């Protein structure tokens, strides 16, 4: 299986020295990439700006902004069987990016923003028989929001976590996630129950979470083909 994985934040520049971004360090996506290579899958990792070494055997494509990430995925997707969107994509970018540093006295205290493309929603029409996995990092109980995102973004699986739980979330090597799967083909969910019951995983290393996700993808790919 060719697996395409995204990781890290995106940066949306206001000028050459200032940007909008978020706290993602890329650890979860890099762990999924390592787990997928361990299982013998060819992996392409589209990474936002992070300071992590590339896992051996992974083909890495570095990007900065959400629009660059979308373009990189569009190039790679045709050769891929599965997409894992663990990147924390910035939803907004400054309406204008200045070519030179903006001077404080010339700046407005109000920043005008424009929406970035939602990468998963943009790619949904190209999904076909590919497996699409998303993440939902929330503050507080993530289940309801994750179920909404699973449906809105047309995903097979969403990996939900509460980033306020100790040992889960940003910049740590462990995570506590809940897997929420869309009802598989042939077992069509009702409009009220489109996803299977959430599967709560214990706190464990991000690499072990990555291994669970890769095994889930293998099983879903096999059921889609079989």
**Contact positions toward ligand CTP, by CB under 6 A?**
66, 85, 87, 89, 91, 116, 118-120, 134-137, 149, 153
Query: In angstroms, what is the minimal distance from the CB of 133 to ligand CTP?
Result: 8
Least separation in angstroms between CB 99 and ligand CTP: 25
Token pair belonging to 225: 């083909």
Q: List the beta strands (DSSP E) in the chain.
A: 3-7, 12-15, 18-20, 43-47, 58-62, 82-85, 92-94, 113-115, 131-138, 157-162, 174-175, 177-181, 199-200, 204-205
Distance CA 132, CA 127 (A): 7
Q: Which is nearer to ligand CTP, 16 or 63 (CB)?
A: 63
Question: In the complex with ligand CTP, which residue's Cβ is closer, 126 or 188?
Answer: 126
Query: Residue 195 contacts by C-beta under 8 Å, 6 or more apart in sequence?
Result: 147, 150, 151, 180, 181, 182, 183, 189
Verify whether residue 161 is a known catalytic residue: no
**Residue 212 corresponds to which tokens in the numbers above?**
């669970």
Question: Minimum distance from CB of 186 to ligand CTP (Å)?
Answer: 25
Which of 30, 135 has the CB closer to ligand CTP? 135
Quick one: 16 or 121, whose CB is closer to ligand CTP?
121
Q: Which is nearer to ligand CTP, 101 or 139 (CB)?
A: 139
CB of 127 to ligand CTP, least distance (A): 13
Structure tokens at 88: 């924390």
To ligand CTP, the closest distance from the beta carbon of 62 in angstroms equals: 17
Looking at 2, 22, 116, 175, which residue is catalytic? 22
Best CA proximity match to 5, nearest among 177, 213, 203? 213
Give Cβ neighbours of residue 158 (< 8 Å, ≥ 6 apart): 133, 134, 135, 136, 146, 147, 149, 150, 179, 180
Catalytic residues: 22
């Amino acid at each position: 299986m060719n697996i395409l994985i995204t990781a890290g934040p995106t940066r949306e520049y206001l000028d050459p020295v200032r940007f909008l971004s978020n706290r993602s360090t890329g650890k979860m996506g890099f762990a999924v990439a390592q787990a997928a290579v361990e299982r013998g899958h060819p992996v392409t990792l589209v990474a936002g700006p992070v300071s992590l070494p590339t896992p051996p055997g992974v083909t890495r494509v570095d990007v900065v902004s959400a629009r660059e990430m979308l373009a990189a995925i569009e190039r790679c997707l045709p050769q891929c069987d599965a997409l894992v969107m663990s990147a924390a994509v910035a939803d907004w970018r400054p309406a204008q990016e200045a070519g030179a540093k903006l001077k404080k006295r010339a700046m407005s205290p109000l920043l005008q923003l424009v929406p970035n493309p939602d990468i998963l929603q943009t790619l949904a029409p190209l999904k076909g028989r590919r497996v699409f996995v998303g993440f939902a990092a929330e503050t507080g109980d993530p289940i309801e929001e994750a179920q909404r995102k699973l449906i809105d973004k047309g995903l097979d699986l969403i990996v939900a976590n509460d980033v306020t739980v100790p040992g889960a979330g940003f910049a740590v090597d462990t995570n506590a996630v809940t897997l929420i799967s869309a009802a598989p083909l042939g077992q069509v969910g009702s409009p009220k129950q489109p996803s299977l019951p959430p599967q709560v995983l214990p706190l464990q290393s991000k690499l072990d979470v990555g291994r669970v996700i890769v095994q889930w993808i293998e099983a879903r790919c096999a059921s889609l083909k079989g």
